């Protein structure tokens, strides 16, 4: 529902030129924004991601010795929400294209991603984990944005893209072995939180509509790419469970498709 609402907002911005043709606001045809600040938010969805769980269970020699775990699966996809801010500078370079450089930061809440992972082994007939990862990302990007003035005063479409980094955080991860069943055992119990940095990039396209000579609203679609990342969780520590090594969760790259609405001010 949140994603559909954001798309509706963007659609209303795209339709704005027809309105602007009938009622143009005075003083909105500035050649460039110069320094500008903006805040934004929205929603969308993240794609499914490959995940591998790596570790060792230290069985005694009488029980066959240490057992390597290399369980593989795929997280589900799901909805996300995000908020962010930007600061930039737009240059005057004629009437066709206005280039700008900007820095953006955003916080993206991906909710809880779930995955079923299977570990093939001769030692156990079936070795399956059901994992849950409450996940969020803090993203910083350096962007190049190109704006294209139109004959509709105060209505400016634009495209942009950028690269940067993402700090992917997981708080309260849970790894439950369902086969053979181990009820109530979280294999990450001694350290269920983890975070790590990885590469991030984005592309975006939208339109901004002037409210006055130094204020505007904007709506856009953006594609956000977050690279693969390894997270480390604590070993399994229970009196009733064989001890393990620390666990490494290896997540593949993730794509996010996002609808954005925001407001900005230029100086």
Domain coordinates in residue numbering, the chain: 2-17+41-88+107-145+160-200+221-266
Q: Which pLDDT score, from 0 to 100, does residue 249 have?
A: 97
**pLDDT per residue as tens, the chain (267 positions):** 444 444 444 444 434 443 433 444 333 344 588 999 999 999 999 999 999 999 999 999 998 899 999 999 999 999 999 999 999 999 986 668 999 999 999 999 999 999 999 998 887 777 899 999 999 999 999 999 999 988 888 899 999 999 999 999 999 999 999 988 898 999 999 999 999 999 999 999 999 999 998 999 999 999 999 999 999 999 999 999 999 999 999 999 999 999 999 999 999
- Structure pTM? 0.84
Residues 235 and 190 sit within 8 Å (Cβ to Cβ) = yes
pLDDT at 132: 98
Q: How far apart are CA 139 and CA 84, in angstroms?
A: 9
What's the confidence (pLDDT) of residue 153?
A: 82
């Amino acid at each position: 529902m949140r994603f559909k609402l954001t798309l509706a907002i963007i659609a209303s911005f795209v339709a704005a030129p027809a309105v602007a043709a009938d009622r143009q606001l005075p003083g909105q045809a500035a050649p460039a924004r110069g320094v500008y600040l903006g805040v934004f938010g929205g929603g969308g969805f993240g794609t499914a991601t490959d995940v591998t769980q790596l570790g060792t269970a230290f069985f005694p020699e009488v029980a066959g010795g240490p057992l390597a775990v290399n369980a593989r699966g795929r997280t589900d996809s799901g909805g996300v929400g995000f908020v962010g801010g930007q600061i930039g500078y737009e240059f005057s370079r004629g009437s066709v294209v206005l280039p700008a450089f900007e820095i953006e930061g955003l916080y993206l809440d991906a909710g809880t991603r779930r995955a079923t992972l299977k570990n093939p082994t001769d030692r156990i007939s079936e070795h399956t984990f059901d994992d849950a990862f409450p996940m969020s990302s803090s993203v910083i990007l350096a962007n190049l944005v190109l704006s294209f003035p139109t004959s509709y005063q105060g209505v400016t479409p634009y495209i942009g893209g950028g690269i940067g980094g993402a700090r992917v955080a997981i708080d309260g991860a849970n790894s439950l072995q369902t086969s053979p069943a181990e009820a109530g055992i979280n294999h990450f119990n001694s350290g269920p939180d983890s975070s790590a940095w990885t590469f991030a990039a984005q592309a975006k396209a939208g339109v901004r509509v002037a409210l006055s000579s130094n204020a505007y609203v904007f709506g856009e679609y953006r594609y956000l790419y977050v690279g693969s990342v390894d997270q480390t969780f604590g070993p399994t520590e229970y009196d009733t469970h064989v001890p393990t090594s620390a666990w490494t969760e290896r997540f593949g790259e993730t794509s996010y498709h996002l609808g954005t609405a925001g407001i900005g001010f230029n100086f």
